[in-house]
Amino acid sequence: MARVFDPRKGQIGLFDALIDASRTFGIKKPILEDQDRKPLSYRDLIRASFALGRKIAARTEAGERVALLLPTSAGAAVTLFALQAIGRVPTMLNFTSGGRNLKAAIALAEAKLVLTSKRFVDQAKLEELVEELKGVSEIVYLEDVRASIGTPDRLYALMAGALPRLFRKPVKSSDIGVILFTSGSFAAPRGVVLTQANMVSNALQVAAHIDIDAEWIMFNPMPVFHSLGLTGGVVLPLLVGMKVFEYPSPLHTKIVIDLIRESRATILLSTDTFMGQYARAADPQDLAGLKIAVCGAEKVRDSTRAMMAEKFPTVQLLEGYGATEASPVIAVNLPEANHPGTVGPLMQGQEFRLEPMEGIPVGGRLYIKGPNIMAGYLVAPGQIEAPPDGWHDTGDVGVLEADGALRLLGRAKRFAKIAGEMISLSAVEDLAADRWPDCWRAVVSISDAKKGERLVLVTDDPNAVTADLLAHAQAVGAPDIAVPRKIVKVAEPVLLGTGKTDYAAVQRIAEAEI
C-alpha cells in the first residue's frame, strides 16, 4: 500500500536526502549503473561526489551556478551530487537546443563554468557547439578533472564518505537545488529555479503515490536536462533505494530494448513516441521483465496502448503528467487504478483549482500549488519571478473526473476559435491518430480572414489526405469544422530533444507552407 506524503520530510537538502537513503537501504547497495556496466553503490556514489566536488570547489565559489552539458549517465548523476555536496548550483543545459539558446541560458544563469565530457562531445559531434560556448564560459572536461584526482583527494573522499554530514556544505531547504530550462514547445525556453525541497518533495510525493519496491530496477533513457529524466530518472530512484540504469538517448531503439532486457529493468521512463517505437521493435521476451512503463511529456495514443496490451500484456502502461515548474510530477495513473485517457490522480500535498474558460463548457485552466512548485522563473540574471501566491498556472485545460483522475483537454493556447466555435487542437490530433495510428502528427492553427482561424495538420504520413480524415470524422461523429482542410507532409517527426513535439517549429512550417 502506498504511503502518506509528509511534507515535513521534504524540507531537507538533496545531498542530505541521499545520505538518509544510504542509511535506510544500506551503504553497500548497488544503486547506479550505465552502459559502461560499472555499478556504483551508495558508498561509491557519495565518495565519488566528494572527490569530484573537491576539485570543482577549488575553481568555483560557494553558491556559484555551474552548467552541465552531459548525457544521461552515471557520470552525470555523480556530477549532480558533487555540486550538491559543495554548495554549488547545477544548471542543466539542453545540448539539442542550439548554440543561441545555450548561450542565452548560460548568460541568464551567470554560469562561468561548463562541465562536459570529451567522450560525449566526440560521440555526439558537438565540437562546433562547444567551440561556440567557449566565447561565453570556460569549458572544463570531466575526464581532465578526474585525471587530476590524486591520493590526497582520495583520502579526503574516504573520510568524507565515512562522515558525509560533517563534510558536505550545509544548505537550507529553500536554497536553489537546480536550474532547468523549459522545453520550449511553443516559445523560447525559460529558466526554472527549483529548490532543494522542491526536488526532494516531488520524489517523496511519487513514492507516496505508487508503492515502490526498493528491489525494482529503473531504466532511464530520458535526458537529465529534462525534469522527467532528472527527478524521475535520477533523484527518485536514488532516494527510494531503487537501482537505476542510465542510458544517454531514447532514440537508440535497438540498444535500449537490449539493455532493458539485460539490466532486468522493472520500470521504464518514456514518452508515447519512444514507447511506440520500442513496442514495435521489441519481441515479447525483450520487455517481459518490465512491470511498469511510465509515459509523460505527451499524450499516450490509443494505438500505443493497444500495441502494448497485445504484445506485452504483463506491462502496465501508466500515463502521467507534469511540468518543469512542478519538479515535474503533478499526476500519474496507478497500477491498481489505471484509467486510460486520463493522467491519473494528483500527487498528495498539492492544492489545485480549475479556472473557467470562455467556450469550454466543463473543467477549466489548471493551477497548482504545493511543495513541488518552483521558486520561480529566472527572468534576468539574479532575478527570480515567483509564482503569484505560490500558484503555478500550468497553461493546461482539464477536468477532474468523479474517480479523482485528471483528464487533460489540451493546452489553453492550443484551442482555435473557428467560426465562433472553440476547437481543441489536441482533440483534432487524436482524430488524426485514430485514422492513421502509426503516424506522427501535429495540428496548429493559423489566421484566416473568413473564419478567424484555420487548422493545419502536419504529419510524416505520405498518404494522409483530407478526404480520408473527413470521412473518419463523420463516421465517429466528430464535427466537420474540426477537420483540417490543409495537410502538410514532412519527412520525419518534428521533435524537441525531450521527445515532445516542437510546436514552435511546426507552426513555422505550417505558416511557411500556407
pLDDT tens profile 70-81: 999 999 999 999
Residues 6+ apart with CB under 8 A from 139: 114, 116, 130, 133
Q: What is the mean pLDDT of residues 190-200?
A: 96
Query: Is the confidence at residue 239, as pLDDT, over 90?
Result: yes
Supply the pLDDT for residue 470: 87
Taking a C-beta distance cutoff of 8 angstroms, is the pair 65, 87 a contact?
no
Within this chain, do residues 363 and 473 fall inside the same structural domain, yes or no?
no
Within this chain, do residues 494 and 362 fall inside the same structural domain, yes or no?
no
Q: What is the mean pLDDT of residues 312-322?
A: 95
Query: Is the confidence at residue 316, as pLDDT, over 70?
Result: yes
Supply the pLDDT for residue 448: 77
Closest to 513 measured CA to CA, from 435, 459, 439, 451: 459
Within this chain, do residues 297 and 431 fall inside the same structural domain, yes or no?
no
User: Is 6 within the bounds of a domain?
Assistant: no
- The sheet that has 452-459: what strands, in order across it? 441-448, 452-459, 486-489
Lowest mean pLDDT, pick from 372-376, 382-386, 502-506: 502-506
Query: Is the confidence at residue 322, as pLDDT, over 90?
Result: yes
Taking a C-beta distance cutoff of 8 angstroms, is the pair 268, 219 a contact?
yes
CATH number of the domain where residue 452 is located? 3.30.300.30
Among candidate residues 359, 381, 406, the one where a domain is terminated: 406
User: Is 259 within the bounds of a domain?
Assistant: yes
Closest to 207 measured CA to CA, from 224, 171, 231: 231
Extended strands (E) in 5-156:
30-34, 40-41, 65-69, 89-92, 113-116, 138-141
The CA distances from residue 202 to 25, 98, 420, in Å, are: 20, 30, 41
Closest to 304 measured CA to CA, from 285, 331, 289, 282: 282
Task: Give residue 206's identity as a one-letter amino acid code.
Answer: V
pLDDT digits (tens, 9 = 90+) for 199-218: 999 999 999 999 999 999 99
Specify the number of domains making up the chain: 2
Within this chain, do residues 215 and 118 fall inside the same structural domain, yes or no?
yes
Task: Give residue 387's identity as a one-letter amino acid code.
Answer: P
C-alpha dihedral sign at 174, 24, 345, 398: positive
The CA distances from residue 111 to 42, 136, 162, in Å, are: 29, 9, 31
Within this chain, do residues 381 and 328 fall inside the same structural domain, yes or no?
yes
Task: Give residue 92's identity as a one-letter amino acid code.
Answer: M
Share of the chain above pLDDT 90, in %: 71
Within this chain, do residues 226 and 307 fall inside the same structural domain, yes or no?
yes
Closest to 142 measured CA to CA, from 226, 60, 221, 69: 69
Among candidate residues 361, 379, 406, the one where a domain is terminated: 406
Residue holding cell 521558486?
375
How far is residue 87's CA from residue 85's CA, in Å, rounded to a whole number?
A: 6
C-alpha cell at 375: 521558486
* Residue 77 main-chain phi, psi, to 5 deg: -65, -45
How far is residue 303's CA from residue 301's CA, in Å, rounded to a whole number?
A: 5
Within this chain, do residues 321 and 435 fall inside the same structural domain, yes or no?
no
Tell me how crowded residue 258 is: count the other CB atoms within 10 A of its CB.
13
Query: Is the confidence at residue 126, as pLDDT, over 60?
Result: yes
Average pLDDT, the chain: 92
The CA distances from residue 79 to 99, 152, 309, in Å, are: 23, 19, 39
Supply the pLDDT for residue 422: 72
User: Is 3 within the bounds of a domain?
Assistant: no
Closest to 509 measured CA to CA, from 492, 488, 495: 488
Buried b (16+ CB within 10 A) or exposed e, 225-256: bbbbbbbbbbbbbbbbbbbbbbbbbbeebeeb
User: Is 291 within the bounds of a domain?
Assistant: yes
How far is residue 247's CA from residue 320's CA, in Å, rounded to a whole number?
A: 21
How far is residue 395's CA from residue 6's CA, in Å, rounded to a whole number?
A: 28
Query: Is the confidence at residue 172, as pLDDT, over 70?
Result: yes
Task: Provide the terminal-to-terminal Cα distance of the chain, rounded to the nearest Å.
Answer: 54
Burial (0-12, 13-18, 19+ Cβ within 10 Å), 387 = middle
* Confidence tier at 184 by pLDDT (50, 70, 90): low
Within this chain, do residues 23 and 136 fall inside the same structural domain, yes or no?
yes
Within this chain, do residues 41 and 118 fall inside the same structural domain, yes or no?
yes
Within this chain, do residues 126 and 235 fall inside the same structural domain, yes or no?
yes
Within this chain, do residues 360 and 441 fall inside the same structural domain, yes or no?
no
How far is residue 411's CA from residue 389's CA, in Å, rounded to a whole number?
A: 22
Task: Of 234-248, 391-405, 423-437, give the range with the top mean pLDDT.
Answer: 234-248
446 lies in which domain range?
A: 419-513
User: Is 75 within the bounds of a domain?
Assistant: yes
Within this chain, do residues 119 and 176 fall inside the same structural domain, yes or no?
yes
